[in-house]
Structure 1
């Protein structure tokens, strides 16, 4: 660095200027006059003022002051949580104290910072942090925002300061584009303190506005550790993924006491809204954990398939071969088109070993919705399950599939459809249950998905089932079939009954009638065979089952960067 000074500057002054400037700017300095004559120089030698970053700081024996020690004592008291009698109840319920729970999730190194520690510090009641901890952490090498209720403070209930902390955390997540973890253990809004947070513009209702804004932008994952009642129960259902802990958590629009008062129904909390209710009947729980440690394990597995936000691609993992050899695929698919089998016997021969994570396995069991990896690449699998209701699509399964497809598309996760279904179920009960309404949602989600899609006709693809399972009309990157595949309006038995019932009834001889039925069945089966579909270029190819894994590896890799456009509109009206 050259510094120009006036001609009347002495050499002593020039050297002083050079040394001062070198120290300040951490650079070599040369001082010259107007003619360019050097008057003084200084070389920056990285002295005390420029110590390198890895040099230990000088311990000058200036320890914490009394003021700082008092602050540390106050923080320690806040971090100890609510009254001791409430902390003593936690082990009886199988729960960790919230600070211990945070340590389980993040550890000392992963817990980065906390916001709002002193919320309600000067309250008349004992309300450390107002019963809610929020901050930033590192989880499985990912930066995340988090919140965690303190059940020892008013049973984790929410009031004005806690609501403010919750909202700030959500709003910051919108800015950072980082995932959000909700570690919920809340009895709902603090009824006796509702003024100032319930109906305000920036009150508890804003939670769900922010949930909606975050939805599809960053992954929101909620773990329930206790009873989440009324308003608190909406956070888990707004989240992209909800994990409940068996024997510990529940969620319901009202408490059992309130239910009895309103309806007269006498019911316990677990029967009202426990894990089994939401895993099997409502479909609101994606995963069920056996204990707190298991809940963390499930979320660690779940987040490994997800990007930080909708602008990014999901993370790749080290490729692994399938659990079972792909050459066995054809052997696990029965020759008889109506015989049941477990679709996981196919999946385990296609995806990387140990990579499957099935969501909502007890709800709508005739469709499998699962994350997995193929050659290290995350995929979302939508597969019919012939082992359950012959793989026919019922309303709950269609709803489950639609929501899974929608979520995968939001987070850029490619979709693999494995079709073996007789189509949507018929009957008066499914009509009452909304088969048309839920079926259209599944078809809509498939139609609107812009991620790469691969459709595999494993065996049956009858009726509108081929539409819902991303058949040729639904813009998949490929529709390929195994030799066991069939595509038609309906199966042979139903078709023969629909078209030839009267003609067959007119044949008096039983043997002749059976021969005619068999002939018609074979003719119809030839008509819907996938080889014929391939010959007419309805589908892209019929492949040897043993090559399915390799085909999917290549096709997902080839179409990885594909771009698809939707019509220019605000949004559709189906979901």
Structure 2
């Protein structure tokens, strides 16, 4: 509020007036001297004093509030005590202790992290703590006789908002002491509300899953309803690409519960305790006759190596948190935002060694991780799905502090040929990077897509097209490096010239062609060579043809014809990428006006 006083008022008088009015009206006051004043500095200003409780105020918490606090404390104890006692033998934390681990002040669930009625220090608030209270708590008028086995505090599902590594997010966590973390009506409603709020406010979602699936004996009212458990996966689909969804598995997630981790952008499984499957071993035996335990059916090894459903495997609960803490540093809070940059670091190994690292012979292997470590900032390479489709490496990294998604052929794995699993992995990774504005770096060294009857049965064409489609559709900045071999449709999938990357640059070891020299000579000149009877003459002719073909596909020819943009000295590759990613950071790309493509 602005107040005008006479021009002859002293500073002391103006100050006294400001303080008196601020106290009386309870608002900020600015006092100006003179009728025309008001645009310049005030002669005095004051804010209302902080309220002081009267010294004789003897009001305080009542028995009613004390009773509520007792009820809350009882809810925080979780399900029946016998189930809590079993958790250490299963190698897992009680869910409230797990929240301390994730959201405590020091991130290790240490003493003193819990406050506000037992909530972890980083938990801002919890929703639905009293869900299903009337069905089990002795203070409820609906409960005639208390039976500990009937305890279902919070209906076995905790939802709320928290701060994690400086980022605000939504979270849910199953309480395995409540009917094995199963999902029922009130818990389902809490889960759906949390997802719907995330859609509205654009903050990431963390799922801490430890659930045996839907509570079969209570399925009426939550299974097939419009706002029932099926809506989980509708909401997952709507959230997909809107905000990062990260799921950590702590137990045997069965049936419906198993869909949350596979819908998430990133899934972490914990060794020795987590698993996921469409049906339990008991159900599998009943349906198929197969006898199998939960780990063999859907443990981390299965989903990290064979299905590709697990992005990361943690050694224990602390390791799972550490992995996610690193993962989120590469991600924005929501679509449309740029991922956070970090302070630049030089690479772990000098870029000067890149040329020596790349063998001159196209068929000799080298580990592409060694190349990445000479280009990326030190300690910034974060690989996903390392055991699945290992012929391609997919990893987040930083180049001069900027997060990028790396898609690199791995010559130590089947010569870097692209197999179906690798193609699928790459397509999904590219799609995720594009959703969250993470630029892409392709490091191409592949003889192309694998051929043969088995890969045809494994859908090499179907999965290969998804790889090519993802590369084609991605609108983030893309840089492609032809490291060595770029044969066949491999160069298409790996961001070749036709796929509108911002740049295609080559190293002097690079080659681009329909196929390699040996295969080309066999395909084109086999009959001519077979007509030469003299072995030495035939070998000499074959060497001549191979050298002639190699000159045609050499990176210098490609640069001469402006197929690629530049050949760079290998020791300058990092500096070149830093400059190009920086220059094209804000490039705008359009896709055709359509609802969506039909490939993915």
TM-score when normalising by structure 2: 0.89
Q: Deviation digits for residues 18-64 of structure 1, max 9, x if unmatched?
A: 9678612435599xxxxxxxxxxxx9865xxx3249x9997955432
What does residue 95 of structure 2 align with?
Answer: 98
Confirm or deny: 8 A CA contact 2:30 2:46 kept in the other structure.
Answer: no
What does residue 121 of structure 1 align with?
Answer: 133
Confirm or deny: 8 A CA contact 1:158 1:186 kept in the other structure.
Answer: yes
Which of 59, 68, 73 is 2:70 aligned to? 73
Matched, 1:311 2:336: yes
What does residue 340 of structure 1 align with?
Answer: 365
- Check 1:175–1:79 CA distance in 2 against 1; reply closer, same or farther (3 A cut): same
Matched, 1:171 2:196: yes
Output the CA distance in 2 between the equivalents of 1:251 and 1:382: 28
Which of 508, 523, 528 is 2:548 aligned to? 523
Output the CA distance in 1 between the equivalents of 2:381 and 2:527: 49
Confirm or deny: 8 A CA contact 2:155 2:186 kept in the other structure.
Answer: yes
Confirm or deny: 8 A CA contact 1:22 1:29 kept in the other structure.
Answer: no
Matched, 1:51 2:49: yes
Q: Deviation digits for residues 320-343 of structure 1, max 9, x if unmatched?
A: 000000000011111110011100
Which ranges of structure 1 fall in alignment gaps of 5 or more residues? 5-14, 31-42
- Check 1:572–1:68 CA distance in 2 against 1; reply closer, same or farther (3 A cut): same
Output the CA distance in 2 between the equivalents of 1:541 and 1:45: 66
Which of 482, 498, 504 is 2:523 aligned to? 498
Number of aligned residue pairs: 552
Output the CA distance in 1 between the equivalents of 2:571 and 2:27: 66
- Paired residues for 1:186-225 under 5 Å: 186-225=211-250
Which ranges of structure 2 fall in alignment gaps of 5 or more residues? 6-15, 32-43, 105-119, 137-149
Confirm or deny: 8 A CA contact 2:204 2:243 kept in the other structure.
Answer: yes
SS of 1:539's partner is coil
What does residue 547 of structure 1 align with?
Answer: 572
Cα deviation, residue 110, structure 1: 1.1
Output the CA distance in 2 between the equivalents of 1:155 and 1:63: 40
Confirm or deny: 8 A CA contact 2:23 2:49 kept in the other structure.
Answer: no
What does residue 389 of structure 1 align with?
Answer: 414
Matched, 1:293 2:291: no
Which stretch shows the higher mean deviation, 93-102 or 124-133? 124-133
Confirm or deny: 8 A CA contact 2:512 2:555 kept in the other structure.
Answer: yes
Q: Deviation digits for residues 299-354 of structure 1, max 9, x if unmatched?
A: 00111100000020000011100000000001111111001110011101000010
Output the CA distance in 2 between the equivalents of 1:355 and 1:194: 46
Q: List 4+ stretches of structure 1 deviating above 2 A.
A: 1-4, 18-22, 25-30, 43-46, 50-53, 55-63
Matched, 1:378 2:403: yes
What does residue 11 of structure 1 align with?
Answer: none
What does residue 109 of structure 1 align with?
Answer: 121
Which of 267, 280, 283 is 1:255 aligned to? 280
What does residue 415 of structure 1 align with?
Answer: 440
Matched, 1:88 2:85: yes
Confirm or deny: 8 A CA contact 1:455 1:471 kept in the other structure.
Answer: yes
What does residue 424 of structure 1 align with?
Answer: 449
Output the CA distance in 2 between the equivalents of 1:94 and 1:221: 22
What does residue 142 of structure 2 align with?
Answer: none
What does residue 24 of structure 2 align with?
Answer: 23
What does residue 182 of structure 2 align with?
Answer: 157
Confirm or deny: 8 A CA contact 1:22 1:28 kept in the other structure.
Answer: no
SS of 2:430's partner is helix
Confirm or deny: 8 A CA contact 1:22 1:44 kept in the other structure.
Answer: no
Cα deviation, residue 111, structure 1: 1.1
Output the CA distance in 1 between the equivalents of 2:545 and 2:54: 90
What does residue 37 of structure 2 align with?
Answer: none
Confirm or deny: 8 A CA contact 2:100 2:121 kept in the other structure.
Answer: no
SS of 1:101's partner is helix
- Check 1:310–1:514 CA distance in 2 against 1; reply closer, same or farther (3 A cut): same
What does residue 232 of structure 1 align with?
Answer: 257
Output the CA distance in 2 between the equivalents of 1:57 and 1:303: 48
Which of 537, 542, 549 is 1:512 aligned to? 537
Confirm or deny: 8 A CA contact 1:19 1:29 kept in the other structure.
Answer: no
SS of 1:151's partner is coil
SS of 1:412's partner is coil
- Check 1:565–1:77 CA distance in 2 against 1; reply closer, same or farther (3 A cut): same
What does residue 351 of structure 1 align with?
Answer: 376
Q: Deviation digits for residues 427-462 of structure 1, max 9, x if unmatched?
A: 000001000000000000000000000000000000
Confirm or deny: 8 A CA contact 2:103 2:122 kept in the other structure.
Answer: yes
Output the CA distance in 2 between the equivalents of 1:341 and 1:435: 25
Cα deviation, residue 109, structure 1: 2.9
* Structure 1 vs Structure 2 CA RMSD: 2.3
TM-score when normalising by structure 1: 0.93
SS of 2:86's partner is coil
Confirm or deny: 8 A CA contact 2:335 2:436 kept in the other structure.
Answer: yes
Q: Deviation digits for residues 100-134 of structure 1, max 9, x if unmatched?
A: 00000001431111000000011143110000000
Confirm or deny: 8 A CA contact 2:521 2:545 kept in the other structure.
Answer: yes
Output the CA distance in 2 between the equivalents of 1:152 and 1:141: 30
Output the CA distance in 1 between the equivalents of 2:350 and 2:534: 49
Q: Deviation digits for residues 257-312 of structure 1, max 9, x if unmatched?
A: 00000000000000000000000000000000000000000000111100000020
Confirm or deny: 8 A CA contact 1:23 1:44 kept in the other structure.
Answer: no
SS of 1:381's partner is strand
Matched, 1:148 2:173: yes
- Check 1:264–1:45 CA distance in 2 against 1; reply closer, same or farther (3 A cut): same
Q: Deviation digits for residues 396-432 of structure 1, max 9, x if unmatched?
A: 0000000000000000000000000000000000001
What does residue 328 of structure 1 align with?
Answer: 353
Q: Deviation digits for residues 353-393 of structure 1, max 9, x if unmatched?
A: 10011100000000000000000000000000000010000
